Amino acid sequence: MGLLKQVDGARTDVSDTTSFTYYPTDDSTCATSAATCPHRKGDLWKVTNALGQVTEYLAYDGAGRVLSVKDANGVVTDYTYHPRGWLTASKVRGADDSSESDDRITTIDYWPTGLVKQVTQPDGAFTRFTYDAAHRLTDIADNAGNTIHYTLDNAGNRLKEDTKDASGTLKRTLSRIYNQLGQLATQATAQGDPTDLGYDGNGNTKTVTDALGHATQNDYDPLNRLARTLQDVGGIAAETKFGYDALDNLTKVTDPKGLDTTYAYNGLGDLTKLTSPDTGSTTYTYDSAGNRATQTDARNIKTSYGYDALNRLTQVTYPTTSLNVSYTYDVSQSTCASGETYAVGRLSRMQDGSGSTDYCYDRFGDLVRKVQTTNGKVFVVRYAYTKAGQLSRLTYPDGAVVDYVRNAQGQTTEVGVTPPGGTRQVLLNQATYYPFGAVAGWTYGNGRPMQRVLDQDYRPLAVNDTRSDGLAVGFAFDPVGNLSALTAPGNTAPVIKLDYDPLGRLTAFKDGPTDTVIDGYTYDATGNRLSAKVNTTTQTYSYPTTSHRLSSVAGTARSYDAAGNTTAIGGTAVQYVYGANGRLTQVKRSGTTVANYAYNGRGEQVRRVGKTNVYTLYDESGHWLGDYDNNGAVVQQAIWLDDLPVGVLAKTTLRYVQPDHLGTPRAVIDPVRDVAIWRWDLKGEAFGTTAPDQDPDKDGTAFVFDMRFPGQRYDALSGLNQNYFRDYESGTGRYVQSDPIGLNGGISTYGYIGSRPMASIDPMGLACSSVNGTTRCDYPGGPSFSLPTPPGWKDFNGSEWMYHHYDVRRKIGCANANGVMQDLIKHPTPSPNARPATSSGTKRNDAGVPYLPVSNFVTSYLTTDLRTGQPVVVNITAPGSFFDPGYVARTVTNGVAHTYGEGTSSVQHDKSMNGAMINWVVNELVWGDQMQGFIDENSPSCGCS
């Protein structure tokens, strides 16, 4: 029959064969009940991967559409369809096959035209879509009555977006103007502040002029590849230049200081060498399947990587073998309880220099138990979920329980805390939300209110606790969106003023009433700080001509290793020692070791050894969960509302945490006495140098709380803020290590969020933001890339309430990886009208989604993954497109085709409840199917019968 039976992969060191089995005959019921016949001869029955794991296709309808699938964990998913073939429901079965009460059922309703009308989540939350007569999306509504309305021109461009609450009150708005060619000419905020764009004859964005008149100029080579950007034309004139090879690989970036970062590739387009003025030369090798085999850094330290037959990373080995990491998949660990053993296809154990971590999953693939063993101490975290897969309960290692009560939209409205052996306490309740937006406020358990007021651009206007001792601050912004003043809530008179240069870097932190400069900063064109005036003292910063490594501050010298890690400040006064894995492992003061550090295989610092051990635990989003003492007993445990820290258990005593507009804790409240027991004043030094007040109530008892900017925790032993993958020095406003994502983190690889500490965050020491006309994004565990900032682009950093990310995967087996990649380049979106991705960006590329036929355009770039050097196709949303703002990055690596996505689209984020299903529809039925088609096309006609 010509059916594919077997695919043998490219690996020679392991057996990597995938086999396909087909039903040999019609089902016995087909002759008498054709309408309900579950399968016919030749229908795909089983797919067995290289490890023997089987996916079984149990039933089909008469049109050959799959009705039921059993995965390798034995979990069955059923599908139903409209008579016209549209998917109408997906049901993941629970443990009880006789009832649907424990199933997760998602349904999709359609208009007669085939357009999606409503998506309903397993818990009943839904989102409804309305279209005009031309089948263009005009309205979105959720089951609370919140709406988004799009005003379109005749060409379908979105001229205006209005977000309203259930009462019809306008909460968010923006407007756009397009030229006669359909190019975005102006985008304006709710206040009418414009950003204007100009184009060359080829449709490339030539100029971007902000509301203050600062212009950025882009120049292109004859192949329409970005060759030069000039920031603040006629002023700072920060120039960055780009070079390419004949295959459009990026080969050189010249920064405003005139320093070159260069890239070299092999014939398959794999990055083989990266030479940086900050991190030196790094070389790479690859195995036959394109997996990275080794990496040798400028210290001449070689890291090797191993993979299983499915090309999943299984080991990372270093010259220092105690740092080696191994990853185990598919095998349920003995620490997992009954109902937690669905491990096939998932990471189940990680062993590293700090100890081990076991992962346990339920039948829906949710992580329900994590067992972290560090230096012999065992810490168990348990998670429970709602019917829609949202967190409902978290149990900490000491037995403390935090529960989340959710409304009909899936948003958390109440958080309860039950200390071990105690009774439930309300941490907060009455939480409300902006439509398709962030939390608007809540009431703490003792009645203390917390308001979080946003303007019609969804920028913070105030964070306000109206009781004494609480956090109360207002915000003002300049026309380009820089935070320009801190005020009293509801008062326009500035308490603190903030000034910026034309590149958006903070230059002055001033007393509002007197305009006196409290702190002032100057920078070079690249973004390196040249001086800092703190009160009456001015410090000078010095750099060598050959790098961005800070060589001295106020005459105090600094030293670095070959990879650009800071190794000493002031000679032997402070010394930093790094392991073969490139992480800070030891701190010395005056030659004496004061601290040692250990990290797990996820890069989390889980053990700090000073005079005693401190063990640290994180959740699966990288939030700090707790610190534990030398005996494993709890010291403090953090409680989160999405990405905001709202409470802390000091041993078993509950305290309230009050976060600012960025999610930085600014006050800790004793709920019984109703007074602040810790305060970190927002009106202190902008980069975080000012120490918190640990005894604001003056009772003689200090409350130590080490959280700082989002993702950071202060370490008194090192004097640095541990920022997940890096260490931040608040005194200089920069990291002591170069950014591991390279230039993707900005031209100055040591800089902290573009020197905008009051307006931006970097929760993992990485970022997705725009600096100097370049937008760089780093997908967690995936590709990193850097592109010209798109017209109308809005930065996001992972802390926003609407943030989402996903990774759609298809194993390529023995398919030609380069062929699959070339198909992704030629067809960067699933639309049949899509044009190939180009290094200069294919503008207004059609990215229409068959199951959601709405106006959706992207710019499709062919660029390079700055971590691996491999090609990556990036579809970055056009302003006004259905999924704006966000991106999709598509690449083939380690034997797997990936479609990664990140963004803050109000219709796609999973916290809104509709987003999870939209993601599933778009991901699995569109991106996934397209990738599978490319894989099939590039698989050899099977002679492995």
CA distance linking residue 19 with residue 944, whole number of Å: 10
Cβ(334)–Cβ(306) under 8 Å? no
Output the six-digit token pair for 229: 């950007």
CA dist list (Å): 534 to 197, 521, 594, 650, 810: 38, 9, 29, 34, 54
- Maximum C-alpha span of the chain: 93
Neighbour count for residue 673 (Cβ, 10 Å): 12
Instruction: Sort strands 17-22 and 6-8 into parallel, antiparallel or unpaired.
Output: antiparallel
Domain final residue pick, 333, 351, 374: 374
**Local structure of 35: helix, strand or coil:** helix
Domain final residue pick, 347, 374, 401: 374
For residues 12-30, average pLDDT:
92
In a domain, 803, yes or no: yes
In a domain, 338, yes or no: yes
pLDDT of 156 over the 90 cut: no
In a domain, 331, yes or no: yes
In a domain, 823, yes or no: yes
Looking at per-residue pLDDT, the higher value among 673 and 926 belongs to 673
Counted residue by residue, the chain has a size of 945
**Which structural domain, as residue segments, surrounds residue 340?**
318-374
Domain final residue pick, 339, 374, 409: 374
Q: Is 389 left (phi over 0), alpha (psi -120 to 50) or beta?
A: left
Of the spans 120-129, 588-597, 919-928, which averages the highest pLDDT? Answer: 588-597
Which pLDDT score is estimated for 944? 29
In a domain, 782, yes or no: yes
CA distance linking residue 891 with residue 889, whole number of Å: 7
What's at 346, amino acid-wise?
A: R
Please state the domain count of the chain: 2
What's at 483, amino acid-wise?
A: L
**At 725, which helix (H) or strand (E)?**
none
Could you report the per-residue pLDDT of 405-445, keeping only the tens digit for each?
999 988 999 999 999 999 999 999 999 999 988 899 999 99
Looking at per-residue pLDDT, the higher value among 32 and 418 belongs to 418
CA distance linking residue 592 with residue 574, whole number of Å: 9
Strand partners, 475: 486
In a domain, 268, yes or no: no
Which pLDDT score is estimated for 913? 38
Which pLDDT score is estimated for 325? 96
Tell me the CATH number at 814.
3.30.530
**Local structure of 720: helix, strand or coil:** strand
Neighbour count for residue 834 (Cβ, 10 Å): 19
**At 162, which helix (H) or strand (E)?**
strand 158-164
Total-model pTM: 0.86
CA distance linking residue 454 with residue 165, whole number of Å: 13
In a domain, 902, yes or no: yes
pLDDT of 914 over the 50 cut: no
Could you report the per-residue pLDDT of 828-886, keeping only the tens digit for each?
888 877 777 766 677 777 777 655 545 567 888 877 665 555 678 888 886 656 676 78
Angle (nearest 5°) at CA 365 between 364 and 370: 125
CA dist list (Å): 439 to 119, 454, 619: 23, 10, 21
Looking at per-residue pLDDT, the higher value among 772 and 826 belongs to 826
Tokens 């650009």 map to which residue? 564
Q: What is the dihedral of CA 397, 402, 406, 412, to 10 degrees?
A: -100
For residues 524-532, average pLDDT:
95
In a domain, 388, yes or no: no
Which pLDDT score is estimated for 678? 98
Cβ(692)–Cβ(679) under 8 Å? yes
Cis bond before residue 885 (omega within 30° of 0): yes
CA distance linking residue 623 with residue 840, whole number of Å: 37
**Local structure of 856: helix, strand or coil:** coil
Strand partners, 394: 383, 402
Which pLDDT score is estimated for 882? 61
Q: Which residues contact 662 (CB under 8 A, 6 or more apart)?
A: 709, 710, 758, 759, 760, 761, 799
Which pLDDT score is estimated for 256? 94
Could you report the per-residue pLDDT of 773-803, keeping only the tens digit for each?
557 676 766 777 767 666 556 666 554 545 6
Mean pLDDT of the chain, nearest integer: 88
Cβ(123)–Cβ(388) under 8 Å? yes
Lowest mean pLDDT among 249-253, 554-558, 646-650: 249-253
Could you report the per-residue pLDDT of 47-74, keeping only the tens digit for each?
999 999 999 999 999 999 999 999 999 9
Looking at per-residue pLDDT, the higher value among 172 and 910 belongs to 172
Given 3-state DSSP classes, what are the helix, strand and coil percentages for the chain, each rounded to the nearest 5? Answer: 5, 45, 50
